[in-house]
Amino acid sequence: MPKPHDSVIRKFVSSWLKKDDSDLQLAEYLLDDNAPFYEAIAFHCQQAAEKYLKAFLANHQVEFPKTHNLPELLELMGKIDKKLAKSLQPIVALNPYGVMVRYPDDIQRVDRNKADVALILALKTSETIHKKLKS
């Protein structure tokens, strides 16, 4: 029988995963619809990846800062599971999309190809973290 503490952690992690999945589903929807909102797609992919990392950290009761910095979150993950953190290293390419694409004067522009890559990276993160949390 799970301890009450375990159920609180599971509920907290589940709330992170719902937010993650929502960002990811929105990005998929926008891309499938062929809408030219590539910067928004990239932003939601970064947000999903970020929240998946935070869900993993929360599951392991690791405090993390309020940050959009994926390398920083991966570093924290590496203290728990180096192999996992290394396997997710390609998602650092999403890092600029967490902030830079939200402002008109930033030079980070996203085209269809970059949006496709962002979605692939976010989907890989989702799949990897969901598998890890189930095991």
| 45-81 pLDDT, tens digit each | 999 999 999 999 999 999 998 888 999 999 999 999 9
Q: Where are the domains of the chain?
A: 4-134
pTM (2 d.p.): 0.82
Give the residue-averaged pLDDT of 12-36.
Answer: 77
CA dihedral over 96, 133, 60, 90, signed as positive or negative = negative
What pLDDT does residue 36 have? 81
How far apart are alpha carbons 83 and 63 in whole angstroms?
20
What pLDDT does residue 118 have? 96
Residue partners of 36: CB distance under 8 A and separation at least 6: none
Residue partners of 61: CB distance under 8 A and separation at least 6: 9
- Looking at CATH, the fold of the domain delimited by 4-134 is given as Four Helix Bundle (Hemerythrin (Met), subunit A) (1.20.120)
How far apart are alpha carbons 65 and 73 in whole angstroms?
9
